[in-house]
Amino acid sequence: MNRKISLLAVFALVFACVSCATAPVTKPSVYIVGDSTASEYKADRYPRTGWGMRLQNQLADGVKVVNAAVSGRSSRSFINEGHFDKVKANIKAGDYLIIQFGHNDQKDTNNRYTDPATSYKTYLTQYIEAARTVGAKPILITSINRYKFDDNDQIIESLRDYPSAMHELGKSLNVPVIGLNKKTKALFEQLGPVKTKALFLFYQPGEYPSYPDGVSDGTHLSVWGADEIVQLVVEDLKEIAPDLF
């Protein structure tokens, strides 16, 4: 009798081990919160493209990107308008939360402005704490530079103290920071003013149906621009979160 029980126990253990070996491994999801430089756009806005739209193809099979970035939002208005509630309701342990705000935090309209030394850090901290509360991993990303060159073909940095404030916060809270502000400055200056224009939305009238009158937009990205920027993100992401690749 004992021998039969022992054999049954062995078979049960072997079956359990096989089941464990064949059980699918749950991959993490990547949530993006941010502004128009990262957000999704419908076909009628083509070729305007957020870099967050191009991240999915860079990651391993099974990793899901949830791009919750919303055009025109700051770290403050994204929370106050309830956009972050949708993320908090779904993000779970093991997921990643990519946080990129700064462009609209400069603006003093529509409840957007934050002070880089105080309220900007306070709002960013809310995202970080919300992620950590459920066991998710926050990652900060500084804002991309705008298309703005001086007479010496050097980028004029228009984000003021927001990138440095984000780096300070990341250091104090032990959150990894992808320095996209610095990376885009280097990329744009390497390409020069003429080639860098193609990363943004500079088109003649009639060139695209979305812009029948043409456009000169040095903030938002073209398809090529989004592809170049996401590569800069991925360079650091491979070091910070290798399980995504």
Mean per-residue pLDDT of the chain = 92
Tell me, yes or no, whether 229 lies in a domain. yes
Displacement of CA 224 from its chain's centroid (Å): 17
Give the pLDDT confidence score for residue 83 in this predicted structure. Answer: 98
Q: Residue 232 has what pLDDT?
A: 98
Name residues whose C-beta falls within 8 Å of residue 164's C-beta, 6 or more positions apart in sequence: 116
Tens of pLDDT, residue by residue over 16-43, are: 444 444 556 789 999 999 999 999 999 9
49 domain residue, yes or no: yes
Pairing between β-strand 64-67 and β-strand 29-34 as defined by DSSP bridges: parallel
Per-residue pLDDT, 155: 98
pLDDT given for residue 110 in this prediction? 83
pLDDT tens, position by position, 141-158: 999 999 999 999 999 999
pLDDT in tens, 47-69: 999 999 999 999 999 999 999 99
* HSE toward the beta carbon, residue 15, CA cutoff 13 A: 6
Structure tokens at 113: 């402005």
Q: What is the mean pLDDT of residues 164-171?
A: 98
Q: What is the DSSP letter of 139?
A: E
Q: Which domain holds residue 200?
A: 27-244
pLDDT confidence of residue 95: 98
3-state helix, strand, coil in the chain (%, to 5): 45, 15, 40
3-state secondary structure of 140: strand
At 187, the amino acid letter reads L
Q: If pLDDT is split at 50, 70 and 90, which confidence band does 12 have?
A: very low
| 206 has pLDDT over 50 | yes
Strands 215-221 and 96-100: unpaired
* DSSP codes, 42-109: -GGGTT---GGGGSGGGS-TT-EEEE---TT--HHHHHHTTHHHHHHTT--TT-EEEEE--TGGG--S
Question: What's the number of domains the chain is made of?
Answer: 1
Secondary structure class of 217 (helix, strand, coil): strand
Residue 132 lies in a domain: yes
Residue 182 included in any domain? yes
Residue 4 has pLDDT above 50, yes or no: no
- Report the largest interatomic distance among the alpha carbons of the chain, rounded to a whole angstrom: 91
In-domain check, residue 10: no
Instruction: Tell me if 156 is assigned to some domain.
Output: yes
46: CATH: 3.40.50.1110
Q: Does the residue 15 lie in any domain?
A: no
What pLDDT was estimated at residue 23?
52
The average pLDDT across 190-212 equals 97
Residue 180 inside a domain? The answer is yes
